Amino acid sequence: MALSIRRRQPTPAVRGVAGPARVDVRTKNLTKRLRPGDVAVIDHADLDRVSAEALVAVGPAAVVNASASISGRYPNLGPRILLDAGIPVLDAAGPEVMRIRDGEPVLLDGDTLWSGAEAVATGRPLDAAAVEADMQEARAGLAVQIEAFAANTMEFIHKERDLLLDGVGVPPIRTRIEGRHCLIVVRGYHYREDLQTLRPYIREYRPVLIGVDGGADALLEAGHRPDLIVGDMDSVSDAALRCGAEIVVHAYRDGRAPGLGRVEALGLVPVLFPAAGTSEDVAMLLADDCGAELIVAVGTHVTLVEFLDKGRDGQASTFLTRLRVGGKLVDAKGVSRLYRARIPGGLLLTMLLVGLLALFAAVASTPTGQAWLQVLAAHWDDLWSALVGTFT
């Protein structure tokens, strides 16, 4: 391991955090093989909320970030989430830390990461006070990001005006969407809770289920099979791709589609959708152009901070896509507040009659019940005779 090192034994009086290092430049790939007690070594500037929650769900012993977890670009929530979960964070450890061998035993001691007797990286240990100070600076610079966001929005309008305004370039698909509800699932904020809340809605309306990349796995985990999988195929599992859903590969405008080879290697024949922007934009535009009556979004990006949290300039396209889709689009949290499972009046009456019949059958099957019914029948005859006598 060609690292610039300095030799010093870690101070015995300081309790360190030890474990095998798991190294990956892409945090979402790392979380797939990370195990509790591992030391996660990442290179993730502006650690976002979704990535931090994925790390917390695994439970690493510590997180070492080669980059600054809060660069000051915007107030991202990832570092605070890790600290609130009790996970130590060594920040800005430098690019050399990414050269640690995967699985190599390491020890995080204060501001230093050790491999045996070798100090392989030095960084900045994060605590609540440091994170709050960084967040304050980031909030002060948010206006710059709003200006950049507006510029990216105008650039996207220039590139995709035909797609946004007229639907030009939307490919034909075999999945029937016309006149139906569509549920688009992105593995974003609170997607598990939202899917759980929407179970009655899914059961009653049976919407077209569209998984955006890893959103397809989220649907399968919740017990639903996706009808469509849309995305660049970088975070969806092979099992989800083989589940029988129609696959739409998001391609670049020049026709390049990095995910196409992976899908074809599984023996599947996808549909190509060349478009700028993000895969969740592609899913929304596809559902809208195919005539969806309502589009329900789970885990998608809504606020400016969420757009910036995604870490892509192309998130401006999501803002415009939401304007394009218009009143068809409903956020899952709104549905969970507004929707209540309906029980038709006819079904309630049928249930009542079935209950009464069951009670009658139970009473009539016992000697005591039979005697009681005979007495009730005699009283009914007397009452009927009295009523007939009154009116005649």
Residue range(s) of every CATH 3.50.30.10 domain in the chain: 16-126
CB count within 10 Å of CB 376 equals 11
Mean pLDDT, the chain, as a whole number?
Answer: 82
**Which of 67-76, 105-114, 249-258, 324-333 tops mean pLDDT?**
105-114
pLDDT at position 45 over 50: yes
- CATH class of the structural domain 16-126: alpha beta
In this predicted structure, what is the pLDDT of residue 7? 41
In this predicted structure, what is the pLDDT of residue 311? 52
DSSP state of 223: T
In this predicted structure, what is the pLDDT of residue 331? 81
Strand order in the sheet with 329-331: 271-274, 246-251, 228-231, 208-212, 181-186, 294-298, 329-331
Across 311-332, average pLDDT: 69
Q: Please count the residues of the chain.
A: 392
In this predicted structure, what is the pLDDT of residue 160? 61
pLDDT at position 3 over 70: no
pLDDT at position 313 over 60: no
Q: What is the pLDDT of residues 346-387, one digit of tens each?
A: 665 776 677 667 666 666 677 776 676 677 777 766 666 766
User: Who has greater pLDDT, 308 or 256?
Assistant: 256
pLDDT at position 215 over 90: yes
Q: By percentage, how much of the chain surpasses pLDDT 90?
A: 48
Helices 128-140 and 142-166 sit at what angle, rounded to 10 degrees? 60
In this predicted structure, what is the pLDDT of residue 226? 97
In this predicted structure, what is the pLDDT of residue 157? 63
Distance CA 31, CA 29 (A): 6
267: which 2 tokens?
């023996």
pLDDT at position 242 over 80: yes
Across 159-184, average pLDDT: 79
pLDDT at position 339 over 80: no
Q: What is the pLDDT of residues 67-118, one digit of tens each?
A: 999 988 878 889 999 999 999 999 999 999 999 999 999 999 999 999 988 9
Q: What is the pLDDT of residues 117-167, one digit of tens each?
A: 899 999 999 999 999 999 888 877 666 766 666 666 666 666 666 655 555
Q: Where are the alpha helices (DSSP H) in 246-366?
A: 260-265, 279-289, 304-309, 316-325, 332-338, 345-364
